């Protein structure tokens, strides 16, 4: 869609057209000026001028010729991946991952660091600041666009705060992104981890299709969902859209940390699965699962046919199917993608989820959607980086300011 329209002043139009061209290049990864003109509706002269600016600012580069044999081969364009870097951080309840990413959200390197159960928030912030500075020193010839921060939910984006982590109460009422920005001097953009994952799935599997409708569900230590509806990430007024982990599926179920009863998270999160193993261990004396085994060990036992692991994880799969049915009936997505730790549970788990969901989803809705595992290795951090890039793509002149500052 072209932004060449009436009712806008010249500066606004230039900014909007630059943003449109830049996002088109980002989405296609390799594209010619002629193709940009066709896709955006901008005339070729406008595209040529904009591309010239973007090349001068160091955000776009020419990357060889098209591969067609007939006619004149076109010069291809791409984002200048070697000029910029993003530091990505994913904070979970038990560890944080920090890495370096390029402007397509591709991971260059990353490390994981455990968080002590009793570590106060100020120590965690100091650890994260140290790792951010350490990564920044590796980017000697690159401009760091900022820090992309993925946080566990529920995350109240409107306030920049995590809510309902009873085991980490001192994390609440703290704007972690703001604190990191103040301590490092970098721009820090935060988002709920599952929403970031949904953006990555949208970009890498559907190329930012504006008609896309998908759900990304992450049954990990909690359970959340990221919703892409008609090419838009749904956030809600506070940023809490998609908190399906606190959707009640049994009115007489156990009390959740949120105060509700029978929340989905209490049945199919990895913490719920581990708790269930402890409750039932005595009934399965031949199990290879200890009461303190990790979710990785449980999934390994599940794959080997251990009776306790099969009972508990199959049960979690059925409940996850119930939750998927509720959200599918509500949003009518084309695709539901299961990520995080339980995406490694294998075909048996996925089939139980599908069958459980099918029993409760309207037939037309189910017949026109798919339920699959995520195949992306870094969906959360890649998505967080893509969201940061998306904000900068909206204001391409910010790259010009960087180019000037760097001289």
What confidence tens digit (pLDDT) does each residue in 109-122 have? 999 999 876 778 88
Domain identity same for 55 and 100: no
209 pLDDT exceeds 60?
yes
* Dist CA 379 CA 262 (whole Å): 29
pTM of the model: 0.89
54 pLDDT exceeds 60?
yes
Q: Is residue 57 part of a domain?
A: yes
Please compute the mean of the pLDDT values over residues 198-203 and round it to a whole number. 93
Please compute the mean of the pLDDT values over residues 262-270 and round it to a whole number. 94
* Dist CA 339 CA 260 (whole Å): 25
363 pLDDT exceeds 90?
yes
Domain identity same for 97 and 139: yes
Residue of higher predicted confidence among 291 and 264: 264
**Per residue in 3-36, is it b (16+ CB within 10 Å) or e — as a string?**
beeeeeeeeebbbbbbbbbbbbbbebeebbbebb
Domain identity same for 350 and 233: yes
Does an H or E element contain 372, and which?
Answer: strand 370-373
- Helix ranges (H only) for 9-73 are 10-28, 33-40, 44-56
Domain identity same for 209 and 358: yes
Domain identity same for 322 and 341: yes
Domain identity same for 204 and 280: yes
- Residues with Cβ within 8 Å of residue 124, at least 6 apart in sequence: 96, 115, 171
Q: Is residue 1 part of a domain?
A: no
pLDDT at 4: 45
Q: Is residue 3 part of a domain?
A: no
How does residue 342 score in pLDDT terms, banded at 50, 70 and 90? very high
Domain identity same for 138 and 29: no
pLDDT at 31: 94
Asked if residue 196 lies in contact with residue 93, where contact means CB atoms within 8 angstroms, the answer is no
Place of tokens 């009776």: 307
- Helix ranges (H only) for 207-337 are 265-268, 270-280, 295-303, 307-331
The conformation of residue 373, written as its DSSP 8-state character, comes to E
Number of structural domains (the chain) is 3
- Domain span at residue 154 reads 84-194+381-406
Mean pLDDT of all residues belonging to the chain: 89
The CATH number of residue 75's host domain is 1.10.10.10
Residue of higher predicted confidence among 94 and 17: 17
Domain identity same for 212 and 341: yes
The encoded tokens of residue 396 equal: 């391409």
Does an H or E element contain 228, and which?
Answer: strand 223-229
Domain identity same for 275 and 304: yes
Domain end call among 79, 113, 136: 79
Domain end call among 24, 45, 79: 79
Q: Is residue 224 part of a domain?
A: yes
102 pLDDT exceeds 70?
yes
Domain identity same for 275 and 321: yes
3-state helix, strand, coil in the chain (%, to 5): 45, 20, 35
Best-predicted range by mean pLDDT (10-19, 53-62, 213-222, 306-315): 306-315
Residue of higher predicted confidence among 166 and 338: 338
The CATH number of residue 303's host domain is 3.30.420.40
Asked if residue 148 lies in contact with residue 388, where contact means CB atoms within 8 angstroms, the answer is yes
Report the relative pairing of strands 31-32 and 60-65 from DSSP bridges: unpaired
Domain identity same for 202 and 152: no
How does residue 401 score in pLDDT terms, banded at 50, 70 and 90? low
Please compute the mean of the pLDDT values over residues 120-146 and round it to a whole number. 93
Domain end call among 33, 64, 79: 79
Of 28-37, 64-73, 315-324, the range with the lowest mean pLDDT is 64-73
How does residue 210 score in pLDDT terms, banded at 50, 70 and 90? confident
pLDDT digits (tens, 9 = 90+) for 373-396: 999 999 999 999 999 998 888 888
28 pLDDT exceeds 80?
yes
Domain identity same for 43 and 68: yes
Asked if residue 235 lies in contact with residue 195, where contact means CB atoms within 8 angstroms, the answer is yes
């Amino acid at each position: 869609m072209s932004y060449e329209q009436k009712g806008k002043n010249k500066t606004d139009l230039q900014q909007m057209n630059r943003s449109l061209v830049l996002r088109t290049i980002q989405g296609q990864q390799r594209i010619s000026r002629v193709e940009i003109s066709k896709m955006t509706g901008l005339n070729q002269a406008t595209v040529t001028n904009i591309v010239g600016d973007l090349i001068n600012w160091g955000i776009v580069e020419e990357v060889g010729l098209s591969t067609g044999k007939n006619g004149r081969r076109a010069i291809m364009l791409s984002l200048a991946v070697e000029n910029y870097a993003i530091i990505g951080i994913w904070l979970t309840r038990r560890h944080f991952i920090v890495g370096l990413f390029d402007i397509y959200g591709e991971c260059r390197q990353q490390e994981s660091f455990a968080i002590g159960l009793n570590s106060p928030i100020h120590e965690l912030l100091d650890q994260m600041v140290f790792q951010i500075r350490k990564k920044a020193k590796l980017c000697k010839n690159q401009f760091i666009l900022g820090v992309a921060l993925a946080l566990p939910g529920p995350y109240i984006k409107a306030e920049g705060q995590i809510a309902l982590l009873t085991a980490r109460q001192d994390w609440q009422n703290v704007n972690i992104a703001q604190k990191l920005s103040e301590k490092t001097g970098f721009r820090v953009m935060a988002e709920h981890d599952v929403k970031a994952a949904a953006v990555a799935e949208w970009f890498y599997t559907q190329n930012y299709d504006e008609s896309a409708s998908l759900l990304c569900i992450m049954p990990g230590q909690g359970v959340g969902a990221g919703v892409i509806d008609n090419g838009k990430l749904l956030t809600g007024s506070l940023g809490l859209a998609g908190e399906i982990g606190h959707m009640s599926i049994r009115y007489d179920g156990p009390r959740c940390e949120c105060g509700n009863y029978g929340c989905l998270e209490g049945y199919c999160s990895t913490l719920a699965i581990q708790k269930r193993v402890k409750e039932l261990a005595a009934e399965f004396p031949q199990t290879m699962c200890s009461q303190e085994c990790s979710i990785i060990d449980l999934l390994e036992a599940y794959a080997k046919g251990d009776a306790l692991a099969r009972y508990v994880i199959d049960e979690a799969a059925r409940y996850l199917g119930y939750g998927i049915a509720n959200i599918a009936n509500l949003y009518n997505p084309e695709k539901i993608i299961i990520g995080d730790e339980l995406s490694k549970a294998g075909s048996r788990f996925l089939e139980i989820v599908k069958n459980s969901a099918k029993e409760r989803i309207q037939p037309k809705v189910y017949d026109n959607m798919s339920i699959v595992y995520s195949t992306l290795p870094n969906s959360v951090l890649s998505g967080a980086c893509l969201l940061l890039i998306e904000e900068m793509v909206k204001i391409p002149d910010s790259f010009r300011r960087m180019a000037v500052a760097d001289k």
